[in-house]
């Protein structure tokens, strides 16, 4: 857990480097092969992650404007949202999806840099963060969504792909 803004920024940079390393390991030639998550491709998975990461970055923007963000959709709506994200992005060019991912990581870094340390690390500052500090909560959500929900599936899929090479 980060105790300073600098540590938080460095942790975000490490997460980005891990992400980019995984994308490099996958390679452009595999990005549109199905089977990463159900029949989703890696391109589909990136679009999915970017959509939810945008929401996290938007929370930082809300804090910067001193506004209360909209509530997270109820869990029952998440599959519907995920299906919409998939349908919306599946025909977009891979280059656009990859650019979206680069952009959201850049926006995350910029928002973290722009906010004061006490805004990022005070666990009681925003009641809508439910007892979590803004910066560590946001970065934790970004990392958790990727590492816990998607990275194991991606790595399993990648091993199968490498076995076919």
Q: What is the pLDDT of residues 116-136, one digit of tens each?
A: 999 999 999 999 999 999 999
Domain count for the chain: 1
Residue 1 pLDDT grade (very low, low, confident, very high; cuts 50, 70, 90): low
Predicted local confidence at residue 71, as pLDDT? 86
Structure pTM?
0.94
By DSSP bridging, strand 40-41 and strand 34-37 are antiparallel
Tokens 């930082």 appear where? 60
Task: Report d(CA 158, CA 30) in Å as an integer.
Answer: 9
Please choose, from the candidates 37, 122, 129, 120, the residue with its C-alpha nearest in 3D space to the C-alpha of residue 86.
37
Residue 36 φ then ψ, to 5°: -70, -55
CA–CA gap between residue 90 and residue 32 (Å, rounded): 10
**Residue 63: how many CB atoms within 10 A of its CB?**
22
- State the residue range of the domain holding 31: 5-164
Task: Give the separation between CA 142 and CA 19, rounded to whole angstroms.
Answer: 11
In angstroms, the CA 70 to CA 75 distance is 15
Residues 2-25: what's their mean pLDDT?
Answer: 95
Cα separation, 132 vs 85, whole angstroms: 28
The structure tokens listed for 68 are 């209360």
CATH number of the domain that residue 82 is part of = 1.20.120.450
Confidence of residue 93 (pLDDT cuts 50, 70, 90): very high
């Amino acid at each position: 857990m980060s105790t300073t803004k600098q540590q938080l920024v460095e942790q975000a940079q490490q997460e980005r480097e891990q992400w980019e390393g995984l994308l490099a390991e996958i390679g452009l030639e595999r990005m549109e092969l199905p089977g990463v998550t159900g029949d989703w491709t890696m391109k589909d998975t990136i679009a999915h992650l970017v959509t939810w990461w945008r929401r996290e970055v938007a929370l930082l923007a809300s804090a910067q404007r001193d506004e209360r963000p909209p509530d997270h959709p109820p869990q029952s709506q998440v599959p519907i949202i995920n299906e919409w994200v998939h349908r919306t992005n599946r025909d977009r060019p891979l280059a656009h999806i990859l650019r979206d991912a680069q952009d959201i990581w850049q926006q995350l870094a910029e928002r973290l840099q722009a906010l004061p340390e006490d805004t990022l690390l005070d666990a009681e500052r925003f009641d809508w963060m439910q007892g979590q500090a803004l910066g560590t909560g946001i970065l934790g959500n970004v990392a958790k969504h990727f590492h816990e929900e998607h990275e194991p599936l991606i790595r399993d899929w990648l091993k199968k792909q490498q076995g076919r090479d």
